[in-house]
Amino acid sequence: MDVPVTMVEASFRRQRHSRRIAMLSGGAVLLLCMVVAGRVSEAYPLALLAGMPRIGDYFEKLVPHLGWSTLFAGTHTDGSLAYWMYRADSWLWLLFETSQMAALATLAGAALAFLLCFPAAANLAPNRKIHFAFRRGLELFRTVPDIVYALILVWTFGIGPLAGILAIALHTVGALGKLFAEVVENADMRPWEGVIASGGNWFQAVRFSILPQVLPNFLSYALIRFEINVRGATVIGFVGAGGIGQELYTVISFNYYQEIGAILVLIVLAVSVIDVASEALRTRAIGAVLR
Amino acid sequence: MPDHAKPTMPGLELRALTCRFGATVAVDALDLDIPAGQMLGVIGRSGAGKSTLLRMINRLQQPTAGLIRFGDTEVTALRGKALRDWRTECAMIFQQFHLVPRLDVLTNALIGRLNHRGTLSSLFGLFTEAERAMAIRALDRFGLAETALQRAGTLSGGQQQRVAICRALLQEPRILLADEPIASLDPHNARLVMDALRRVNREDGLTVLCNLHHLDTARAYCDRIVALAAGRIVFDGSARDLTAQRVFEIYGVTEDEFHEQPTLVAA
Ligand SMILES: Nc1ncnc2c1ncn2[C@@H]1O[C@H](COP(=O)(O)OP(=O)(O)OP(=O)(O)O)[C@@H](O)[C@H]1O
Ligand SMILES: [Mg+2]
């Protein structure tokens, strides 16, 4: 008989066996965790089933009354697009306001995250204490949800977009700061050593050896964050922090079903436009940075 | 302090220099005097402590014990700005070049000027026209002027190592430390780089310490050869004294066997 074949085959089977056992027990643990989590959070499947039809009912109410014959009629004819979107001009303006809130907040948050991420990276922090302090600081920014910041800031600065911008910016600092720091930790340290060995200081080493490596990734993350923040800015409007969210909250609480539907459609359209645009920007900008 | 103010160029003195990593003694109570202007080859098999020795001189590695002195300066005690000034005076060349692949060749060379400028202006990449001229001249000297605006990562290994030599020269150093500068190069490029190091030694009067694992390279280029084994000096003499017979006496292996191991490790 073929001795090496039988030997390798035997140990292969042994390995496969133990892998299968590991997978099964892993699956069992996962299932158990799900059951426990469902129990604790009272997410019962029966409640889900009972609620299902009502979800359908709600969405049915959001469907606009559009008729083929009246589709392109004027603002005063029920069943026309214009009737459905009769306030499109102000909604579009509010949507624009929301995306500007998100843009400003992303820019401000990314700028601060940029400053904080280098000492928060384990490979660059001058010592463990600084690394630890900056990491925990970023966590503090991040763990408070932006909606909570918004509630506090609306109370401080009054109702309006400023509170929303600050709220999103604060959360963005934490979220981007952590991602940026992780990008920095994956950087190649040989160029760093080259700069330090020639007498450069910490700032110069960051600027010349780390920045060229990490900038394209920073940009990617910031643009993705911008997309997330547009959605965030919508929700934040609910607590009075300006933009389309505030309007959406109003029509939801007054049960203006047709308007809710119209606004939701506009939001989905706006978010997909931003997705496409920022994807294009990202590939271009990365191409420019990498040359 | 301008160096022409000094009557004689100081040499480098190492006294009982030691570096431990846990239980490993990488460099073991090493005593060595290196006069100014010498081209010194340091040889030894993998793990002998060659890299650790050079990295301690540049202070990339903190010695566990012992002294490094350069003239009146106690190098081992330097901190902050004084330490950066020292690093500028003893430029370092690495086996893997340690350039910034995404920056152009010119900027890579200009990194050698960083400690000669203020932090703020250098952070904005504002090098002066005079500095750029200095960098271009250095690049031109080693046949790299045409590549000046190319990204460093696109050059061949031999070209990258010569860019690293230019970066070192822009520091206006007095000592050049080269840690296996040719170990990842083919024979032709290895010769170009070693020739460049010798020119720097002869024409610019720099003291050169060069770790090498090929004995023939050390014999061909170095005024003096120091051999290390387990962090201690086991030979110190001229190329002529380092005969095949001596190598066998020191290391207990033939020259071919001596060369075998590091090539494997380098891969
Ligand atoms: N950062 C470190 N941490 C732990 N041990 C280290 C470290 N650097 C070096 N050593 C150990 O110190 C000893 C000397 O290493 P060194 O790199 O100086 O040798 P070398 O002569 O340069 O070898 P090579 O030819 O492989 O580059 C080795 O045993 C090595 O494992
Ligand atoms: Mg080495």
B151/A contact by beta carbon, under 8 A: yes
Kindly list the residues from chain A whose CB atom is less than 8 angstroms away from the CB atom of residue B97. Answer: 190, 194
Nearest CA in chain B to A216: B102
B245/A contact by beta carbon, under 8 A: no
Cβ–Cβ below 8 Å for B111 and A208: yes
B61/A contact by beta carbon, under 8 A: no
3-state SS, residue A10: helix
Contact B190, B178 (CB under 8 A): no
3-state SS, residue A255: coil
Contact B117, B193 (CB under 8 A): no
Cβ–Cβ below 8 Å for B84 and A201: yes
Nearest to A212 among B60, B100, B115 (CB): B100
3-state SS, residue B68: strand
A286/B contact by beta carbon, under 8 A: no
Instruction: Name the token pair of B34.
Output: 């290196």
Contact A200, B111 (CB under 8 A): yes
* pLDDT 10s digits, B7-54: 467 889 999 999 999 989 999 999 999 999 999 999 988 889 999 999
pTM for the model stands at 0.83
At B262 the pLDDT is: 47
Q: Is residue B201 predicted with pLDDT exceeding 60?
A: yes
Averaged pLDDT score across all residues of chain B: 89
Report the separation in Å between the CA atom of B13 and the middle of ligand 1, taken as the mean of its atom positions.
Answer: 22
Nearest to B60 among A193, A208, A212 (CB): A193
Strands B224-229 and B39-43: parallel
- The ranges assigned to domains in chain B are 10-98+174-266
Nearest CA, atom 18, ligand 1? B49
- The ranges assigned to domains in chain A are 3-62, 87-290
Nearest CA, atom 25, ligand 1? B46
* pLDDT 10s digits, A143-193: 888 888 888 888 888 888 888 899 999 999 999 999 999 999 999 999 999
CB neighbourhood size of A12 (10 A): 10
Q: Is residue B264 predicted with pLDDT exceeding 60?
A: no
| Cα–Cα distance for residue pair A269/B240, rounded to 1 Å | 81
Nearest CA in chain A to B166: A198
Residue B55 CB partners (closer than 8 Å, separation 6+): B61, B92, B179
Q: Is residue B214 predicted with pLDDT exceeding 60?
A: yes
- How many residue pairs from chains A and B have C-beta atoms closer than 8 A? 81
* pLDDT 10s digits, A132-157: 999 999 999 888 888 888 888 888 88
At B249 the pLDDT is: 83
Nearest CA in chain A to B168: A198
| Cα–Cα distance for residue pair B58/A198, rounded to 1 Å | 9
Q: What residues does ligand 1 touch, defined as CB less than 6 Å away?
A: B 21, 24, 26, 44, 46-52, 213, 262, 265
Q: Is residue B4 predicted with pLDDT exceeding 70?
A: no
CATH classification of A87-290, choosing from 3.40.50.720, 3.40.50.1370, 1.10.3720.10, 3.40.50.2000? 1.10.3720.10
Kindly list the residues from chain A whose CB atom is less than 8 angstroms away from the CB atom of residue B125. Answer: 207
| Ranges under pLDDT 50 in chain A | 291
Nearest to A199 among B94, B102, B114 (CB): B114
Residue B10 burial (CB < 10 Å; 0-12/13-18/19+)?
middle
A207/B contact by beta carbon, under 8 A: yes
Nearest CA, atom 26, ligand 1? B46
Q: What percent of chain B has pLDDT over 90?
A: 68
Burial B207-235 (b: 16+ CB within 10 A, else e): bbbbbbbbbebbbebbebbbbbbebbbbb
3-state SS, residue B168: helix
Kindly list the residues from chain B whose CB atom is less than 8 angstroms away from the CB atom of residue A203. Answer: 119, 123
CATH of domain B10-98+174-266: 3.40.50.300
Residue A29 burial (CB < 10 Å; 0-12/13-18/19+)?
exposed
